[in-house]
Amino acid sequence: MLRGLVSAGLIILSLALGACATTSYSAYFDTNPDAPYTLASGDRLRIIVFGQDSLSNSYAVDGSGHISMPLIGSVVAEGDTTASLARKIEARLRAGYIRDPRVSIEVEAFRPFFILGEVTTPGQYPYVNGMTAQTAVAIAGGFTPRAYKDSVDLTRTIDGHPYTGAVPILQQVKPGDTIVVRERYF
C-alpha cells in the first residue's frame, strides 16, 4: 500500500514538474487585436496640423525614438500610440506657438520585420498589417527544402527586453519582430 502511494505521488509530482518545465509562448507573444499600436524606431508617421501646412509632413521615428518637428524640436515618440503622441504635440504647440492646435497622426509605414534561417531569401522586409509567421515566410520566398515548417522562433522586444520563443506558424507577427525558421532534423 505504501509502495502504491509513493508511486502515485511520484506520478503526480512528475506531471506537475512537467507542466512547469513547459514554457508557453503565449505569455509573451499572444496579441490582443484591440491593443493600440505603439510607436518605435523605424516607423514613418504622417502628421497633420490642421491649418498649418508648413508643419504637416511625414516624419520618421529616429533611432533614439524621437521625431523632430519645426517650432517644437525633438519629441519622444517611442512607446506612444498615435493618439498620445498627437496630444503631446498639441501641448507643445499650444505652449507659445499656436492658439488651438489640432493634430492628426497616422502610421504611414511600419518598421520592418526580419526573417532568417531556412527561407529562400532571408533579410529585412516591410511589415504588412495582419501578418502571420506563415505570411512572412511567403514574403521571404518560401521555405527551403530543409526547413522545419510547423513552428518558428520569434524574437520580440517587450518593455525594452527581447523575448524569444517557439511559436506556431500561424502566430501573429508585429513590426520589429525577428523570425528564425529552423532546420528540420531527418
Q: Is residue 7 part of a domain?
A: no
Report helix, strand or coil for 53: coil
State the CB neighbour count (10 A cutoff) for residue 20.
8
pLDDT given for residue 117 in this prediction? 95
117 within domain boundaries: yes
Residue ranges for the chain with pLDDT beneath 70: 1-34
Q: Which amino acid is at 132?
A: T
Is residue 18 domain-resident? no
Please report whether residue 3 resides in a domain.
no
- Structural domain of 53: 44-109
Three-state DSSP at 69 gives strand
pLDDT for 8 equals 44
Are 68 and 80 found together in one domain?
A: yes
Of the residues 76, 109, 142, the one at which a domain ends: 109
What is the per-residue DSSP string for the chain?
-HHHHHHHHHHHHHHHHHHHHSPPTHHHH---TTSPP---TT-EEEEEETT-TTT-EEEE--TTSEEEETTTEEEE-TT--HHHHHHHHHHHHHTTT-SS--EEEEEEEPPPEEEEESBSS-EEE---TT-BHHHHHHHTT-B-TTB--SEEEEEEEETTEEEEEEEETT-B--TT-EEEEPBP--
This model's pTM is above 0.85:
no
- Per the structure block, which three cell numbers stand in for 20? 512547469
- Domains contained in the chain, number: 2
| Same-domain status, 84 and 130 | no
Q: Is residue 150 part of a domain?
A: yes
pLDDT at 36: 80
Residues 59, 99, single domain; the answer is yes
Residue 80's CATH number: 3.30.1950.10
144 shares a domain with 97: no
User: Is residue 133 located within the same domain as residue 159?
Assistant: yes
Show which of 85, 109, 133 is a domain's final residue: 109
Mean pLDDT of the chain: 84
Is 172 in the same domain as 129? yes
Q: Which of 93, 109, 125 is the last residue before a domain boundary?
A: 109
